[in-house]
Amino acid sequence: MNLSIQEELQPFVEELQRYITPEFLEELAREMKFVKRKRKFSGSDLATICIWISQRVASDPLVRLCSRLHAVTGTVLSPEGLNKRFNEKSVLFLKHVFSLLLQQKICEQTYISNQLLSHFKRIRIMDATMFQVPHTLEHIYPGSGGCAQTAGIKIQLEYDLHSGQFFNFQVGPGKNNDKTFGTECLDTLRPAIYVFVI
Confidence of residue 101 (pLDDT cuts 50, 70, 90): confident
Q: What is the domain extent for residue 84?
A: 5-103
Q: Is the pTM of this model over 0.75?
A: no
- When pLDDT is averaged across residues 9-20 and rounded to a whole number, the result is 71
Please tell me whether residues 9 and 95 are part of one structural domain.
yes
Please tell me whether residues 14 and 70 are part of one structural domain.
yes
Q: What's the pLDDT at 130? A: 81
**pLDDT tens figures, 157-176:** 888 877 777 777 778 888 87
Confidence of residue 197 (pLDDT cuts 50, 70, 90): low
Q: What's the pLDDT at 142? A: 85
Domain final position from 75, 103, 131: 103
Please tell me whether residues 97 and 127 are part of one structural domain.
no
Q: Which spans in the chain are helix H? A: 5-19, 22-31, 43-47, 62-73, 79-85, 88-109, 114-117, 178-184
Per-state percent for the chain, helix, strand, coil, to nearest 5? 50, 20, 35
Q: What's the pLDDT at 6? A: 61
112 CB-near residues (< 8 Å, 6+ apart): 123, 161
Asked whether 152 and 138 are in contact (CB, 8 A), the reply is: no
Confidence of residue 1 (pLDDT cuts 50, 70, 90): very low
Tell me if residue 139 falls in helix, strand or coil: coil
Q: Within a 13 Å sphere around the CA of 109, how many CA atoms are in the beta-carbon half?
A: 7
Please tell me whether residues 150 and 80 are part of one structural domain.
no
How many other C-beta atoms lie within 10 A of the C-beta of residue 183? 9
Please tell me whether residues 21 and 95 are part of one structural domain.
yes
Domain count, the chain: 2
What are the C-alpha distances in Å from 116 to residues 103, 107, 162, 167, 192? 18, 15, 10, 21, 12
- With 50 as the cut, is the pLDDT of residue 60 above it? yes
Please tell me whether residues 75 and 138 are part of one structural domain.
no
- With 50 as the cut, is the pLDDT of residue 111 above it? yes
